[in-house]
Amino acid sequence: EAGVAQSPRYKIIEKRQSVAFWCNPISGHATLYWYQQILGQGPKLLIQFQNNGVVDDSQLPKDRFSAERLKGVDSTLKIQPAKLEDSAVYLCASSLDKNLDRGSNFGPGTRLTVT
Amino acid sequence: GQQLNQSPQSMFIQEGEDVSMNCTSSSIFNTWLWYKQDPGEGPVLLIALYKAGELTSNGRLTAQFGITRKDSFLNISASIPSDVGIYFCAGFNAGKSTFGDGTTLTVKP
């Protein structure tokens, strides 16, 4: 079974630029999560999708971050414009249902550096 | 929001030693999960706990769901070099997850 795929693996941008990350979840997984992991900290949930609907985006900085999951499969996370404090690893995870522990997998992450 | 205090922050041990780490919170959780993260990779689920007082093992790993539902413990017995990494606890309540800041484990051969 293929795991969660993310691209790119690394991205370096200047502040105020835009960036987009892509995630392809495990086939058949209805729930998709985007987490932000700042160096030295645990992952923090940004947004959770159930199929193509948003379940929880309470911690997503909506003035600059946006995410979509078209057709309930792949997802993209966008930051526009980026700030220095957005430097982090952005992790995508998917699970069979709304419970992260049920067959969940994390992707390898995209490491973003904002200069 | 809910916060988890994970300790210790880091550990340096000799190969063969046992390891203990824990997570505590002022909030109650319905599920506790323990993950391991290697450099450049995403976290991998090690153990899931669903009931207060539950004790679950996965090979050399044993985790417990605290009776108060506000804490959890992970023990690793007879550590080996490949146990090196960052261990995270995560608590779940009402569909929302909260992760600790991790315990970095270094194992000296």
Closest alpha carbon within chain A to B93: A99
**pLDDT tens figures, B68-83:** 999 999 999 999 999 9
Match 């900085």 to its residue by tokens.
A61
CB contact under 8 A, A91 and B43: yes
CB contact under 8 A, A42 and B31: no
Q: Which of A106, A110, A111 is the mutation pick for testing B, counting most B CBs within 10 A?
A: A106
**Percentage helix, strand, coil, to 5, in chain B?**
5, 55, 40
Rg (CA), chain A: 13
Q: Residues of A with CB below 8 A from B41's CB?
A: 108-109
The one-digit pLDDT tens for each residue of chain B (109 residues) are 678 999 999 999 999 999 999 999 999 999 999 999 999 999 999 999 999 999 999 999 999 999 999 999 999 999 999 999 999 999 988 778 899 999 999 999 8
CB contact under 8 A, B101 and A107: no
C-alpha span between A49 and A18 (Å, rounded): 22
Q: Residues of B with CB below 8 A from A43's CB?
A: 43, 88, 99
Half-sphere exposure of B17 (CA within 13 A, CB side): 13
**pLDDT tens figures, A56-86:** 999 999 999 999 998 889 999 999 999 999 9
CB contact under 8 A, A98 and B95: yes
Q: In angstroms, how far is CA B80 from the centroid of its own chain?
A: 17
pLDDT < 50 regions, chain A: none
B9 part of contact set with chain A, CB < 8 Å: no
